[in-house]
Structure formats: C-alpha cells, structure tokens
Amino acid sequence: MSVNRWIPLENNPEVLNSWSSKAGLVTAQAVFEDVYGLDPELLGMVNQPVKAVLLLFPISDALEAKRREEDAKIKSEGQPLLDSTVVWIKQTIPNACGTIGLLHALLNSDLTFVPESPLAQFIDECKGKTPEERAKHLETTPLFANIHAEAASGGQTVVPTDLDTNLHFTCFVRAPSIRGPDAPGSYRIIELDGRREGPVDRGEYTDFLTDVAKIVKDTYLANSSSVQFSMVALGPGSEA
C-alpha cells in the first residue's frame, strides 16, 4: 500500500508553534523562535535555556555520502553512551520530516502535554514500540496528518503543486549519558533524523546551542554550497 505524500512544512516559528499548540503543547512552557545566524552575537539573541534545535537543510550528494558513512560506522561500532530513553521515529511518510522533527524536539524535552491531546495519545499508544512501529502508527492514524496539513497550508509561502523537495528537517536534543548525571560528559547532543539508521550521538556539550551551531557548521554547511538553511530553537515560553 502506498503512503500519501504530505505537504512540506515551513521552518517558521509561527507555523511550528501553531502545530505544537494544536497537537497539545501548552505553549507557555516552550516556544520555537528563529536562530538568525551561527555567530556568537546572533546565538546570544536566542532565549535560554534551549531545549532542542530544528535544522532545515538541502539534501546534497556530499551530505548523502557523509550520512551513509556515519550510519555505517554507527552500525559497526555502536554508540555506547547513547541513553536508551531517547525517542526516535523512523520516517516512512514522504515530506513528513517537519512533523517527525517536531515530535523529536517535543518528546525529548521533558515537556507536559494536554491530556488526551494528539501528543499525549501518541506517547501513550507508542509505549514500548520500536521506531518502525511508531512510524506505522503515524501512517495509520490521523493523529498528526490533519495538524500537519493545516500548518503546511498556513505558512508564508504558497503550497507547491510539485511536492517533491530536496529540503529536509533534522533535530538536535539534549540527552543524559549512561554514565550518569555526575560523571564527566554526562549530557550529550543527540541528532534525530527519521532518514537515518537511528539516533546519532554528537558528543558532550558545554553550551548546547553554541555546540549545535558548531556541528551545523562542520557537518552541514561545510558539505554544501547552498544558502537554503534555516534553524529554529525550542526555548522558554512565557511562564519560564
């Protein structure tokens, strides 16, 4: 059975916050805001503490080659410090990377959700499921399809008639190391991308947003000549 291709989602705080609110996040807890650049002065404008970062990037041959190389290394060597509680979802729905990225950001950020909301239901219905089973649940239930469609249609750009796109979302979250909270390197940056073979441990961090920016520079910008990059941060809401 073929899976419907969703409309691509904009990496726009207004769109992402609308999606999150409709899905069940109490937005007073946390909101998405633009990251206008990777220089220290621009990173300093972002409200702290940052809980997660969403990056929209253009897929290129160089980035695809790097992805395959990293996935092969992870498959052969493993990631011994990766915490098992990190929630990762395999992407099987075309153009659903925006919703997958939002789920990765919100479900790994110690947030609470409105009871019986789509986010609360997804957590409850996916307990103990594999990443592939979570993906199947997204395919076969309407929990997020309508929310995604509404958010994608409410952006600043016209909905494209050609739904093929080379732009893709990935997410960076903070996660504890299995070493424990008091050990050196006890908190790590984890990259979550539904197209990968699993979560990617990017190592320990000193300042989460600053170190994510360095990863984006070294891993993504260094392997692309495109300017079609955009980044948003999930940070304190009005009640923080």
> How many domains, in total, are found in the chain?
1
Alpha helices (H) in the chain, listed in sequence order: 13-23, 40-43, 61-77, 97-107, 118-125, 131-140, 145-153, 208-215
Q: Is residue 4 part of a domain?
A: no
Mean of pLDDT values over 74-82: 90
- Range scoring the smallest mean pLDDT among 1-5, 67-71, 147-151, 226-230: 1-5
Of 104, 126, 148, 168, the catalytic one is: 168
Active site residue 168: yes
Q: Is residue 18 part of a domain?
A: yes
Active site residue 97: yes
Statement: residue 36 has pLDDT above 60: yes
Of 97, 104, 126, 171, the catalytic one is: 97
Top pLDDT among 240 and 217 is at 217
Question: What separation in angstroms does the CA of 54 have from each of 91, 100, 150?
Answer: 16, 11, 20
**0.95 exceeded by the pTM?**
no
Pairwise CA distance, residues 136 & 93, whole Å = 9
163: domain CATH number is 3.40.532.10
Mean of pLDDT values over 74-79: 91
Pairwise CA distance, residues 22 & 24, whole Å = 5
Instruction: Name the percent of the chain lying above pLDDT 90.
Output: 63
Record the tokens describing residue 169, joined without a space. 């979302």
Q: Which DSSP symbol is given to 169?
A: E
77-87 burial: b if 16+ Cβ within 10 Å, else e: eeeebbbeebb
Question: What separation in angstroms does the CA of 127 have from each of 85, 122, 123, 188?
Answer: 11, 8, 6, 24
Q: Is residue 7 part of a domain?
A: no
Q: Is residue 176 part of a domain?
A: yes
Q: Is residue 210 part of a domain?
A: yes
Statement: residue 229 has pLDDT above 60: yes
Q: What count of residues does the chain have?
A: 240
Residue 214 is part of which domain span?
13-236
Q: Is residue 3 part of a domain?
A: no
Statement: residue 111 has pLDDT above 70: yes
Closest CA to 151 of 6, 4, 11, 18: 18
**pLDDT at residue number 176:** 85
Q: Is residue 49 part of a domain?
A: yes
Q: Is residue 6 part of a domain?
A: no
